[in-house]
Amino acid sequence: MTEPTADLVQRLVADQFPHWAHLPVTPVPKQGWDNRTFRLGTDLSVRLPSSGAYVTAVAKEDRALPGLAAHLPLPVPEPVATGKPSPAFPHPWSIRRWLEGDTLLDAKEVDNARLANDLGTVLAVLRAAPTHGGPAAGGHSFFRGCHPSAYADLVQQSLHLLDGTVDTTACEAVWDQGMRTVWTGPPVWFHGDIAHGNLLLTGGRLSALIDFGTCGIGDPACDLQIAWTYFTGDDRALFRDAAGLDDGTWARARAWTLWKALIMMSGVSGNDPEGVQARNLAAVLADPVTG
């Protein structure tokens, strides 16, 4: 599949939603991994899955977002229309209401202490949302919401490849600690990708949560990785307090963060040219909170 362009999106919209054909289409400056996003006029956005692996997220978000929007204390993307596969583009695609804001790494004058408290609180509210009809964690969520042991083989492969480059003993200790715990509560909503690009801020404060493509019902540990990928010191502790959850869940969250860092550093999945994942791994290994 060729990379989607603004011209392609313009043709898709004109063909399937001609009442919006007059609106200009512009790509967003920073694209995500799962989707290619374009702004449609001033009030709408168009999202096209980047490959067939992310197609199931379109219908899942259409079902999940309205209910979550009614429950959460800040905006989430509002489904407006769903495009059909066509000769021009082989997958379903979506039109959402545009949400203003800067992504976390682009935002200025961020009060990290307030952000830690606000984000932790939002995740606690998300866990309390009604789960009836929600999708159980699995392949559609790339096993977020499942136990991190789903990726044990990739962790072992990565540690083998990185032997002599990382502290394998320390990594194995973090992984082992996570493996000794399980989620014992009822399945709850998780977002699945609480990352810098999916948090929107306005005036330095959290204002929206976007990209629910990996959401589902299960273990919320996967939503806590930002404790080590962004927060530090006292702000990390504030986030932990606001998010709640027991020590075992935080141990699994560390395991999730370790997994992501290792597979990218080793090249098993993706890469780490700017050393971001190496820094995340260092944060996980240095954290005195052992759960």
C-beta atoms surrounding 82 within 10 Å: 14
Q: What's the pLDDT band for 16 if we cut at 50, 70, 90?
A: very high
* Average pLDDT of span 281-291: 81
Q: Do residues 200 and 101 lie in contact, with contact meaning Cβ atoms separated by under 8 Å?
A: yes
Q: What is the pLDDT of residues 79-113, one digit of tens each?
A: 999 999 999 999 999 999 999 999 998 999 999 99
What is the b/e burial string over 215-242, where b = at least 16 CB atoms within 10 angstroms of the residue's CB? Answer: bbbbbbbbbbbbbbbbbeeebbebbbeb
What is the sign, positive or negative, of the torsion defined by CA atoms of 235, 74, 148, 49?
negative
Q: Is the pLDDT of residue 14 over 90?
A: yes
Cα–Cα distance list, 241 to 23, 119, 276 (Å): 45, 11, 25
Give me the domains of the chain, ranges plus CATH numbers.
6-98 (3.30.200.20), 103-286 (3.90.1200.10)
pLDDT, the chain, mean: 95
Beta strand spans in the chain (E): 25-27, 35-40, 44-49, 79-83, 93-97, 102-103, 188-190, 199-202, 205-209, 216-218
Q: What's the pLDDT band for 291 if we cut at 50, 70, 90?
A: very low
What is the rounded distance in angstroms from the CA atom of residue 138 to the CA atom of residue 202? Answer: 33
The model's pTM: 0.94
What is the rounded distance in angstroms from the CA atom of residue 183 to the CA atom of residue 51? Answer: 31
Alpha helices (H) in 18-111, listed in sequence order: 56-71
Q: What's the pLDDT band for 1 if we cut at 50, 70, 90?
A: low
* Average pLDDT of span 45-53: 92
